[in-house]
Amino acid sequence: MAGADWRGGGVGGTLWVFPEQPVIWWRSVMAKGKKKLEVVHLVCEQTGDHNYTIRKKSGGEKLKVKKYSPRLRKHTVHNEKKK
Protein backbone atom coordinates (compact mmCIF):
# COMPACT_ATOMS: atom_id res chain seq x y z
CA MET A 1 0.00 0.00 0.00
CA ALA A 2 2.94 2.26 -0.54
CA GLY A 3 1.93 5.38 -2.42
CA ALA A 4 -1.79 4.77 -1.81
CA ASP A 5 -3.98 7.74 -1.05
CA TRP A 6 -7.05 7.34 1.15
CA ARG A 7 -10.18 9.32 0.34
CA GLY A 8 -13.35 9.12 2.34
CA GLY A 9 -16.01 7.31 0.37
CA GLY A 10 -18.98 8.68 2.28
CA VAL A 11 -21.82 6.31 3.00
CA GLY A 12 -21.16 2.71 2.10
CA GLY A 13 -17.44 2.39 1.71
CA THR A 14 -13.90 3.63 1.41
CA LEU A 15 -12.11 4.52 -1.79
CA TRP A 16 -8.42 3.73 -2.11
CA VAL A 17 -6.67 5.47 -4.99
CA PHE A 18 -3.42 4.06 -6.33
CA PRO A 19 -1.41 6.44 -8.54
CA GLU A 20 -0.39 3.70 -10.98
CA GLN A 21 -4.02 2.56 -11.63
CA PRO A 22 -6.95 4.47 -13.12
CA VAL A 23 -9.62 5.55 -10.66
CA ILE A 24 -12.80 3.45 -10.75
CA TRP A 25 -15.69 5.07 -8.94
CA TRP A 26 -17.35 2.51 -6.72
CA ARG A 27 -20.85 3.98 -7.16
CA SER A 28 -20.82 3.22 -10.90
CA VAL A 29 -20.12 -0.44 -10.15
CA MET A 30 -22.98 -0.88 -7.68
CA ALA A 31 -26.42 -2.17 -8.68
CA LYS A 32 -28.99 0.30 -9.96
CA GLY A 33 -31.68 1.51 -7.58
CA LYS A 34 -35.36 0.73 -7.76
CA LYS A 35 -37.80 2.95 -9.59
CA LYS A 36 -39.17 5.62 -7.32
CA LEU A 37 -42.80 5.53 -6.29
CA GLU A 38 -44.81 8.70 -6.55
CA VAL A 39 -47.88 9.66 -4.55
CA VAL A 40 -50.95 10.07 -6.76
CA HIS A 41 -54.49 11.16 -5.89
CA LEU A 42 -57.62 9.66 -7.41
CA VAL A 43 -60.16 12.41 -8.05
CA CYS A 44 -63.87 11.80 -8.64
CA GLU A 45 -65.00 12.98 -12.10
CA GLN A 46 -68.43 14.10 -10.90
CA THR A 47 -67.68 15.80 -7.56
CA GLY A 48 -63.97 16.64 -7.87
CA ASP A 49 -63.25 15.16 -4.43
CA HIS A 50 -59.83 13.64 -3.65
CA ASN A 51 -61.16 10.36 -2.27
CA TYR A 52 -58.14 8.08 -2.61
CA THR A 53 -54.35 8.33 -2.43
CA ILE A 54 -52.12 5.65 -3.94
CA ARG A 55 -48.40 5.06 -4.48
CA LYS A 56 -47.59 4.26 -8.10
CA LYS A 57 -44.43 3.68 -10.14
CA SER A 58 -43.62 6.73 -12.21
CA GLY A 59 -44.37 6.66 -15.93
CA GLY A 60 -47.07 4.83 -17.78
CA GLU A 61 -50.62 5.90 -18.55
CA LYS A 62 -52.86 7.86 -16.22
CA LEU A 63 -55.22 5.69 -14.20
CA LYS A 64 -58.96 5.76 -14.74
CA VAL A 65 -60.64 3.54 -12.15
CA LYS A 66 -64.18 3.00 -10.86
CA LYS A 67 -64.14 3.65 -7.11
CA TYR A 68 -66.70 4.40 -4.43
CA SER A 69 -67.61 8.07 -3.90
CA PRO A 70 -68.82 8.66 -0.32
CA ARG A 71 -70.54 11.94 -1.20
CA LEU A 72 -72.65 10.37 -3.98
CA ARG A 73 -72.86 6.97 -2.24
CA LYS A 74 -72.17 5.11 -5.48
CA HIS A 75 -69.29 3.98 -7.68
CA THR A 76 -67.98 6.62 -10.10
CA VAL A 77 -64.98 7.03 -12.38
CA HIS A 78 -61.90 8.43 -10.64
CA ASN A 79 -58.95 9.94 -12.54
CA GLU A 80 -55.31 10.16 -11.52
CA LYS A 81 -54.03 13.59 -10.49
CA LYS A 82 -50.59 14.49 -9.19
CA LYS A 83 -50.54 16.78 -6.18
What is the domain-level CATH number for residue 65? 2.20.28.120
Instruction: Give alpha helix (H) positions in 1-83.
Output: 26-29
Overall average pLDDT of the 8-24 stretch = 58
Question: Is there a domain that residue 56 lies in?
Answer: yes
Q: Is residue 17 part of a domain?
A: no
In angstroms, the Cα distances linking 10 to 14, 27, 41, 59 are 7, 11, 37, 31
Q: Is 9 inside a domain boundary? A: no
| More confident call, 49 vs 1 | 49
Residue 13 domain flag: no
- pLDDT (tens digit per residue) in 29-78: 566 777 789 999 999 999 999 999 999 988 889 999 999 999 999 999 99
Domain, as residue range, for 74 = 37-82
Tell me how far apart the 2 most distant CA atoms of the chain are, in Å.
76
Residue 43 lies in a domain: yes
| pLDDT at residue 19, as a whole number | 61
Domain presence at residue 19 = no
User: What's the total number of domains in the chain?
Assistant: 1
